[in-house]
Amino acid sequence: MRKIYFLIPLCLFIFQIESSTQEPVKGDEDAFFIKKIYNTALTQGQCYPWLTHMTTKIGGRLAGSPQAAAAVEYTKQMLDTLNLDSVWLQPVMVPHWVRGEKEQVRIVNSGVIGSMDLNALALGNSIGTGNEGITAEVIEVKSLDEVEKLGEAKIKGKIVFYNRPMDPTQLRTFNAYGGAVDQRGSGPSKAAEYGAVGVVVRSMTTRLDDIPHTGALGYKKGIKKIPAVAISTNDAEVLSRVLKKEKTHIYMRTTCEMLADKLSYNVIGEIRGSEKPDEIILVGGHLDSWDVGSGAHDDGAGCVHSMDVMQILKRIDYKPKRTIRCVLFMNEENGLAGGKAYAKASNEKGEYHLAAIESDAGGFTPRGFSSTAHPDVFKPKFKKMTEWLPLLEPYGLGFTTGGSGADITPLKSQKGLLIGFRPDSQRYFDYHHTRIDTIDAVNKRELELGAASITSLLYLIDKYGL
């Protein structure tokens, strides 16, 4: 990741932290146009009222839920108001997991603290414990490797407690998440391989608080499915302390279950290109969210960013050369069915996505874009994009290599540039997959700046190609 692609003067960066007006230099058409995009987003942006509706009137939008269906309908209606060239729904079958009754997770009959309820959420896709729940001794581990080392002798019949915290010293919190989330995603099947009966995972956040974070697990084929929950970081600390003193048993009861697949939709709207309509530039986010909270940052923000890109382009009467397509994907959180179905259909039609930009890292102050592509095409496309840095740096934006977005990754074989919008990440994992990922956690200006940043990059891609 530490390759140096080019050198340019630093002067623009110097000004980014206190650029007073961003007044473009006379004659610099692109700088003027980008300033116009920002002004429009900050004074006539629609992302914040749209997100307010999605979070307060609709709520958490897990794939297959009535709320997800309502969000499909609402966002299509909103796109319909924008006078785009076409707006449509793309059918997609999605998994339908339901949480069931409120989870019960309890330290039982501890000599140290008696019985104690833990703040817990079942992990997405998890099976339930059965109506009676399960009680078993807990064993704490710090990694999947440790489970392997302990082996069946120590693991069998127990509840495995994964308690490796996210590393708070990582500046970019997504890296800390990446360094811990295997415990949630793959930990349950790893524990089951050695005979565990259940899994408890420390919530994925650097914060110490009482709020559990849900998120998907993936069961490994051929391995017995066992139930799994996440507990809050404060409770993980307590449980760990109790385990240092004595053998500890936990009772857990969850009634979550995976139902039959359900019909849902990706929501799509496009402005047809005037010169190169067959070159598609996609902007998107995912419409589904977890059922707790209301998916404000994850990923309501990405949806309303993408919709606002279309709104801003129409409002300033921009006529794109290429086709601009807004896609709100269904089922990113626990299956990626929307992203896969979109790419499959697109490939079948022989479409070409010149670029795809996904916003799925929250609605915070923009810091830039990360990008990737098929190795055949990455370097020249990335280099071309970074030549626009002087236009975007005054707005605090930079470019980096790395990932893009889960929903657009299946488009990689089309050999366009895949781009992830990257806002400031410091607060993201306070809210991620929790009941507090609500509109209160979103700042209007920060959200609007996201829409402006994405629109600006998209404008440059449309105007100059890649």
Applying CB under 8 A, the span of 122-130, 165-173, 180-188, 190-198 interacting with a second copy comes to 165-173
The structure tokens listed for 345 are 């259909």
Piece of 20-28, 105-113, 249-257, 295-303 that binds a second copy (CB under 8 A): 20-28
CB of 172 to a second copy, least distance (A): 6
Kind of pairing, strands 257-271 and 86-98?
antiparallel
Query: Is 445 a binder of a second copy (CB under 8 A)?
Result: yes
* Closest of 415, 366, 374, 375 to residue 394, by C-alpha: 366
* CB 294, CB 60: distance < 8 Å: yes
Please tell me the distance from the alpha carbon of residue 441 to that of residue 450, in angstroms, as a whole number: 15
Residue closer to a second copy (CB basis): 242 or 451:
451
The continuous run of DSSP H or E covering 188 comes out as: helix 187-193
Query: Is 4 a residue that touches a second copy (CB under 8 A)?
Result: yes
Which amino acid makes up residue 284?
G
Shortest distance in whole angstroms from residue 394 CB to a second copy: 8
Decide if residue 186 touches a second copy (CB under 8 A): no
Q: Among the candidate windows 68-76, 215-223, 246-254, 443-451, which touches a second copy by CB under 8 A?
A: 443-451
Name residue 87's beta-bridge partners. Answer: 269
Token pair listed for 81? 């108001």
Give least dist CB 361 to a second copy, A. 10
For residues 407 and 284, the answer to whether their CB atoms sit within 8 Å is yes
**Closest by Cα among 205, 249, 256 to 229:** 256
d(CA 75, CA 95) in angstroms, rounded, equals 21
Q: Which is nearer to a second copy, 174 or 459 (CB)?
A: 174
Minimum distance between the CB of residue 167 and a second copy, rounded to whole angstroms?
Answer: 9
Site for a second copy (CB under 8 A): which residue of 161, 219, 265, 399? 399
Give me the catalytic one of 140, 270, 279, 332.
332
**143 forms part of the interface with a second copy (CB under 8 A):** no
- Contact region with a second copy (CB under 8 A), list: 56-64, 173-181, 311-319, 454-462: 173-181
Q: How many residues bind a second copy (CB under 8 A)?
A: 58
SS3 state at 145: helix
Q: Does 443 bind a second copy (CB under 8 A)?
A: yes
Question: Of 344 and 379, which has the nearer Cβ to a second copy?
Answer: 379
Q: Which of 24, 218, 402, 465 binds a second copy (CB under 8 A)?
A: 402
| 24 touches a second copy by CB under 8 A | no
Among positions 29-58, residues that touch a second copy (CB under 8 A) are 38-39, 42-43
Please identify which residue in 262, 444, 463, 465 interacts with a second copy, judged by CB under 8 A: 444
* Least distance to a second copy, CB of residue 25, Å: 9
- Using CB under 8 A as the binding rule, whether residue 446 contacts a second copy is answered as yes
At residue 166, what is the residue type? M
What x-and-dash track marks residues 330-369 binding a second copy by CB under 8 A?
-----------------------------------x-xx-
132 labelled catalytic:
no
Q: DSSP labels for 8-75?
A: --SHHHHHHTT-SS-PPPTT-HHHHHHHHHHHHHHHH--HHHHHHHIIIII----TTSHHHHHHHHHH
CA distance 280 to 322: 6
- Binding-site string for a second copy from residue 205 to residue 244, where x marks contact by CB under 8 A and - marks none: -xx-------------------------------------
Q: For the sheet with 276-286, list strands across it.
A: 86-98, 257-271, 322-329, 276-286, 352-358, 417-423, 366-372, 398-401
Range in contact with a second copy (rule: CB under 8 A) among 10-18, 53-61, 69-77, 303-311: 10-18
The C-alpha atoms of residue 425 and residue 427 are separated, in whole angstroms, by 6
Q: Which is nearer to a second copy, 252 or 449 (CB)?
A: 449
Q: How far apart are CA 407 and CA 306, in angstroms?
A: 13
List of residues 6+ apart from 153 with CB closer than 8 A: none
Kindly indicate which of the ranges 73-81, 95-103, 172-180, 181-189 contains the residues binding a second copy, using the contact rule CB under 8 A. Answer: 172-180
Q: Which tokens is 255 given?
A: 């009634």
Q: In Å, how far are 300, 415, 434, 459 from 303, measured between CA atoms?
A: 5, 24, 18, 18
N-terminal to C-terminal alpha carbon distance within the chain: 21
Whose structure tokens read 């796109």?
79
Interface residues toward a second copy, by CB under 8 A: 1-2, 4-11, 13-22, 38-39, 42-43, 168-175, 206-207, 365, 367-368, 370, 386, 389, 393-396, 398-400, 402, 422, 424, 426-427, 430, 443-446, 449
What are the residue numbers of the active site? Answer: 332
